[in-house]
Amino acid sequence: MSIHCDPTFRAGVSYARHWVAWTIILVSSAFCPSIADSLIEIEVPPEQTGITIPICVDMNPARRCLAEVTSGKEVLCQVDRRTGKLWFVLDAPRSTRGAKRLFRFCETGSARHSGFHIENNGTQIILKEKEKAVLAFNYAMVLHEGIPEDRRRACYVHPLYGPSGEVITDDFPKDHYHHRGLFWAWPKVAVGNEVYDLWTIKGMRQHFEKLVSMELGPVYGELVIQSGWYTDDKRKVMDELFTIRAYSQGMMGRVIDLELRLTAASENVTIDSSTTGYGGLSLRFAPRSETIIYTSEGKEEGDANRTRFAWSDLSGKFAGASDFCGVTIIDSPSNPVYPTAWSNRYYGFLNPSFTALAPWTVGRETPLVFRYRLWIHKGDANSGNAKAAYLAYLNTPSVKVIKR
């Protein structure tokens, strides 16, 4: 079994790509006139305001800076290397009338914007925006002092940070040692005649294999990570490809998009939940006070077991912060069994699980792909506009390129 870091990815090294933040000057005809003369119009409906929204424009301009026409304020942009599309982040203050925003392209300047970069401390890939930590992916096996050896694990996100820098995830909580920040696992993993438990780490573990790629710029930082599910006798049963993209924090919060692709390494693998529905993407929250859980069906007064929601949100006052903050997990309509069933807990746990109602079989030729969006916001679900974040994920605001 070969488990290693990519040879170009070394501990103790900080990685960043230099992206230029352009100053606002008059548009020049020195580059593609059709692009230079274009305007980008964004129309945000009232029900999608009060949030920070990633915007994608299907164009790859030579100049990668926008300025808002009315205010002249510069907006940093980034081009996706795979798709060639232009991305930027839009703050849309709450409004009963919605908003129509107009942007123009501007020329290059000499200002630098450090944007996103990563650090490797030997056990974690730490993603930062400027000097502010956003999240850490634990690629090495982790075990805290005093915890049983059989709880050792890897391949999960912790810490995940809130808008004010507060830690909002927990690891090795005393009530559930197997809970591990933002993670994905199932209590029943059947391969042939054998059944393993990736959830409580019995007979099977996830092992990091390599950092496949990274995109680091002023608008987002993205990591693509390859791992495998291995039995205790070192047999690989599943290939795991995890993509996490964190967007620049806006006035209202930060969006993080997740994608997990599972492919059977050889024979079919059937994943299933517990009787209470546990299994799949899970978020264990750090200790906090005044916990509130909202879902697409309204405020939840108690825990939920295998209940279908389009989204769920948990908020509270975390250590190091005097105000509320929270996280909305939004289920993608492309996921199996949408809207999925959830198991949510007031002790600090959100778990959308499409296997809560029926098992799912993953094959070598039939991979499983599922996606979620995290909306990490100030306030609770109401003041943090969780529903607006959900609506913007389902239907991104209208984008129109106007050629002049």
pLDDT, tens digit (0-9, with 9 covering 90-100), for 93-106: 999 999 999 999 88
The helix (run of H) or strand (run of E) holding residue 68 is strand 65-68
> Can you tell me which residue has the tokens 């690891």?
171
Given a contact cutoff of 8 angstroms between Cβ atoms, the answer to whether 287 and 348 are in contact is yes
Residue 15's pLDDT band (boundaries 50, 70, 90)? low
Average pLDDT over residues 23-38: 41
Residues in the chain: 404
Residue 61's pLDDT band (boundaries 50, 70, 90)? confident
**Which is higher by pLDDT, 5 or 373?**
373
Average pLDDT over residues 82-110: 88
For the domain 113-394, what is the CATH code? 2.70.98
> Can you tell me which residue has the tokens 């994943």?
271
User: Chain-wide mean pLDDT for the chain?
Assistant: 90
Residue 9's pLDDT band (boundaries 50, 70, 90)? very low
Closest CA to 52 of 401, 399, 331, 374: 374
Q: Report the pLDDT value the prediction gives residue 322, as an integer from 0 to 100.
A: 82
Closest CA to 177 of 208, 146, 138, 203: 146
Q: Report the pLDDT value the prediction gives residue 268, as an integer from 0 to 100.
A: 98
Task: Report how far apart the first and last C-alpha atoms of the chain are (Å, whole number).
Answer: 59
d(CA 167, CA 161): 5
d(CA 127, CA 138): 11
Considering the chain, tell me which residue range(s) the CATH 2.60.40 domain(s) occupy. Answer: 19-112+397-402
Q: Report the pLDDT value the prediction gives residue 20, as an integer from 0 to 100.
A: 32
In the chain, % of residues over pLDDT 90: 83
**Which is higher by pLDDT, 169 or 276?**
169
pLDDT, tens digit (0-9, with 9 covering 90-100), for 112-148: 566 999 999 999 999 999 999 999 999 999 999 999 9
Residue 4 reports pLDDT greater than 90:
no
Residue 263 identity: T
pLDDT, tens digit (0-9, with 9 covering 90-100), for 300-332: 999 999 999 999 999 999 987 789 999 999 999
Fold entry, domain 19-112+397-402: Immunoglobulin-like (2.60.40)
Closest CA to 245 of 14, 47, 83: 83
Considering the chain, tell me which residue range(s) the CATH 2.70.98 domain(s) occupy. Answer: 113-394
Q: Report the pLDDT value the prediction gives residue 14, as an integer from 0 to 100.
A: 57
Average pLDDT over residues 21-44: 54
pTM of the model: 0.92
Average pLDDT over residues 161-184: 98
Residue 59's pLDDT band (boundaries 50, 70, 90)? confident
Coil, strand or helix at 393: helix
Kindly write down the DSSP assignment for every residue of 101-163, as one continuous string: EEEEE----S-EE--EEEEE-SSEEEEEETTEEEEEEE-S-B--TTS-GGG-B-SEEEEEB-T
Residue 1 reports pLDDT greater than 70:
no
Q: Report the pLDDT value the prediction gives residue 403, as an integer from 0 to 100.
A: 84
pLDDT, tens digit (0-9, with 9 covering 90-100), for 235-287: 999 999 999 999 999 999 999 999 999 999 999 999 999 999 999 999 999 99
Q: Report the pLDDT value the prediction gives residue 114, as an integer from 0 to 100.
A: 66
Q: Report the pLDDT value the prediction gives residue 321, as an integer from 0 to 100.
A: 78
